[in-house]
Structure 1
């Protein structure tokens, strides 16, 4: 009878131990996808942050370029406006003043881009387009898929092999 009790206790202990080890293994396996998910999430987050940083730098370069262009174009516009106005007065031909109008539009545009609110207005309009005119943003033939890329790659490689 004692032997039977010991055997049953050992069996129960063994069963509990094996169940615990199975549960432990299962938890380890379950935690691996979580670790992979977290790793993928962090990688994606870093990529998004890097893309945003690059976008911000490009925008800063565009604004800086506009401000620098404005300095040179402003100087040109000032000299041209004075010269054309003086020529119109001296020769009594108001037609000399006409080129000042389009040059003035370019000057105002560059000033608005470099120092004004043009970028905020463009951002607002872009947000409006994204919300209300989504159909205008669709690519011809729909989204690019892996299959379409592979098909194009195969066709291109055939083209180069044939030549």
Structure 2
């Protein structure tokens, strides 16, 4: 009788263990998908911000370029055209970020860093551990009760 009960109990525990493992995998998969979705949304917002900024900055650049060119012609001083150079770099960067290939180039560079320069990504003092967090928590807590 005990053997039958034990066998049934072992089978039940095995099924429970498999169920828990499946749930853990499912939860991890959902978390990874959620993190990916959040990252994609943040990147989309960054690109949208860049495109919106480009509209305003492009308008400013156009007006500034026309005004500075007119001033340079009217006053016969080509020095008025100098501010157009740095402003054009900013305009080009924003255009490349919003509509160009800057993000793809940055992604490629990041992948290269991950593959070839792993040592530059290491945290000081190594990976954070539960023990280090607990130690810091105990040092900061005035109401710590050790159990």
TM-score calculated relative to the size of structure 2:
0.91
Aligned partner (choices 20, 23, 48) of residue 36 of structure 1: 20
**Segments of 4+ moved more than 2 angstroms:** 18-25
CA distance in 1, matches of 2:139, 2:74: 68
CA distance in 1, matches of 2:76, 2:125: 60
Q: 5+ residue gaps in structure 1?
A: 1-13, 159-163
Q: Which residue number in structure 2 is paired with residue 101 of structure 1?
A: 85
Q: Which residue number in structure 1 is paired with residue 30 of structure 2?
A: 46
Map of 1:70-89 to 2, 5 A cutoff? 70-89=54-73
Q: More helix per residue: 1 or 2?
A: 1
Q: 5+ residue gaps in structure 2?
A: 143-147
The aligned length equals 142
Q: Deviations over 1:82-139 (max 9, x none)?
A: 1111111111111111111110011011111111111111111110000000000011
Q: CA deviation at 1:20?
A: 4.8
- Is 94-103 or 21-30 further displaced after alignment? 21-30
Query: Which protein shows a greater Rg?
Result: 1
RMSD: 1.4
